[in-house]
Structure 1
């Protein structure tokens, strides 16, 4: 043995447990895939509408392909589906591609959270829903939603509900100089004995794609009163929504689901407001796209869960100013490089507001703008880079 000559044939190589053939990076093109519109997402299952507005229209439930596991898929997305796309009960298609989006509404959890969260895709219009009272309206939230809408290229609309509880005029005066469509809605409580079966707070039927027992299916339970909305306000809002994809955004308890029920004939669960915290109770756990009742093709409304915060970490500070058209013109007299925030020296916005060009609400509007600019972490990152700390 000592005199034996060794060569490469004596080397023993252990076989690869995953196989000797390397996996190809080429993926199938799925040219035979059908297109579907995602209407809701629930625990890894995507409910889609295929062959929309045709005789062959059907609902198809799909699971996301492995290669898309890092790609967010949200209500409003158009996706490519393969496999069993018949829509028959107990069938499951495979979602293999997300088509290019016309618009994307994003938010971050907080202003210092760098992770963007896609809210909805392909929306034409954003309805910002606030209540005149119970819960009290927050102009900071409205301003943030306006920034997100303008940044996404989505037309905003302000819907003020519960105007029977409090005069919304002071709130609306804040935005009177903006090219912003406003709809005001009032509610009137009715006794539930009359038509309990039609109560919008009654038992919620199972939603397709939502398993029984899920938060979305259970909702918040029956409400003690049915709610009748102002017919004129509903009709006025309908005029703005027909033929468009609209997303409703607002805090819990402001009446989003109530308005959705009135517009679509659905039975979305509705909830009240906590008397101690003044916050609404969550009754929707995921975004859901619904057709407008009797509307032209392409008319969809997307009800989103009530949100606690709407961060703008993803929005460049230079674009935040575009959401304040009543102030933007005042920056023409600013020195070059002025950031218009609370630390700015001789900012043209101060003189613009002092001269009354932004109206009586100018000081409040300027303070709101500067709060948003001061909260945006990209400003801080820019300063840190200039100082050489990053």
Structure 2
């Protein structure tokens, strides 16, 4: 052994600690300096947020590591920290997602167990439907109504292209649901629509090509949402590709927001049960307490003891309208067969 080598001992050896030698703490930062914000856009792992609901205080944020895979969608109320200046190339962090008050959900189809959250915390749903080109389809409206009732949103039916057809016949199917109906055709004034949206967060849904983006551009002049023409096969082009919340002009009723969503070709309701829909109506909620277990509320012969048949007056008329909605959504008739109109709707509307 050389003289140089024999002069070394264990104190000369540097031991590199292993990766797991540092104990991990379960404590997380309290983020007392976090500011409240609302998510207004989502794009490839980055979230656009407005601080304090002020559209002029916008930041781009990433999801903090401690949130893991917690879903964050447009409309979520979040807490953000970091660089909140909003300057180009700056990035804040979302460190908390508040509990949602309402959720608009859909599935790819009625057998898909995976629920997709369309928008969170909206209190209204504007169902945009064209009266022509493409022709209106009650199946989509009925499904949107069911999703709104179950999700806790107040639905409003908005009819576009009213210069091409009379809305009376189409709207007759929803007369007993107390569904607000507004016109937003090219030549229709928008005062009624604007008044209903003021001070609310309203999600807009509709098939592609019904004029939804055109309506948004009229409501929010600087929105610059892309518009397109309807294809020859009866379904429009997808002119909106990402959901985005847009601030409406401020009024005496406070700041309102519209959430423009991509044109929807499918609206599955795998997560919705008949009780969910009936429960949304205050005057029917108590009535179904008297229904036998397993009642589908479709009426005889399937449900000969359904309590909805015992109602009278306006409550009975609403119950029958809700029953028609259940048949449209479930595709089942009282005799247990599949409703052919609903089956056709499933192929064209969803």
Normalising by structure 2, we get a TM-score of: 0.79
Q: How many residues align?
A: 313
Match of 1:102 in 2: 101
3-state SS of the aligned residue for 2:174? coil
Give runs of aligned pairs for residues 111-260 of structure 1, distance below 5 A.
111-187=110-186, 229-231=187-189, 234-260=190-216
Match of 1:27 in 2: 28
Q: Does 1:311 align with 2:311?
A: no
From 231, 246, 259, the equivalent of 1:290 is: 246
Deviation of 1:176 after TM superposition, in Å, equals 1.0
CA RMSD of aligned residues (A): 3.1
Counterparts of 2:172 and 2:86, CA distance in 1: 50
Match of 2:335 in 1: none
Deviation of 1:372 after TM superposition, in Å, equals 2.3
Counterparts of 2:130 and 2:211, CA distance in 1: 7
3-state SS of the aligned residue for 2:147? helix
Give runs of aligned pairs for residues 68-87 of structure 1, distance below 5 A.
68-87=67-86
Q: Kindly indicate whether the alpha-carbon contact (under 8 Å) linking 2:46 and 2:60 is maintained by their aligned counterparts in 1.
A: yes
Deviation of 1:159 after TM superposition, in Å, equals 0.4
Q: 1:327 to 1:372 in 2, by over 3 A?
A: farther
Deviation by residue 1:40-99 (Cα, 9 ceiling, x = unmatched) = 111111111114449xx5211011112324211111111111111111111111111112
Deviation of 1:366 after TM superposition, in Å, equals 4.2
Deviation of 1:292 after TM superposition, in Å, equals 1.1
Deviation by residue 1:95-143 (Cα, 9 ceiling, x = unmatched) = 1111222222112222111222111111121111111111122212111
Q: Kindly indicate whether the alpha-carbon contact (under 8 Å) linking 1:147 and 1:322 is maintained by their aligned counterparts in 2.
A: no
Deviation by residue 1:161-189 (Cα, 9 ceiling, x = unmatched) = 111112221111011112111002322xx
3-state SS of the aligned residue for 1:142? helix
Normalising by structure 1, we get a TM-score of: 0.72
Q: Kindly indicate whether the alpha-carbon contact (under 8 Å) linking 2:59 and 2:92 is maintained by their aligned counterparts in 1.
A: yes
Deviation of 1:333 after TM superposition, in Å, equals 8.5
Q: Name structure 2 gaps, 5 residues minimum.
A: 1-14, 333-350
Counterparts of 1:331 and 1:122, CA distance in 2: 28
Counterparts of 2:281 and 2:84, CA distance in 1: 46
Deviation of 1:316 after TM superposition, in Å, equals 3.1
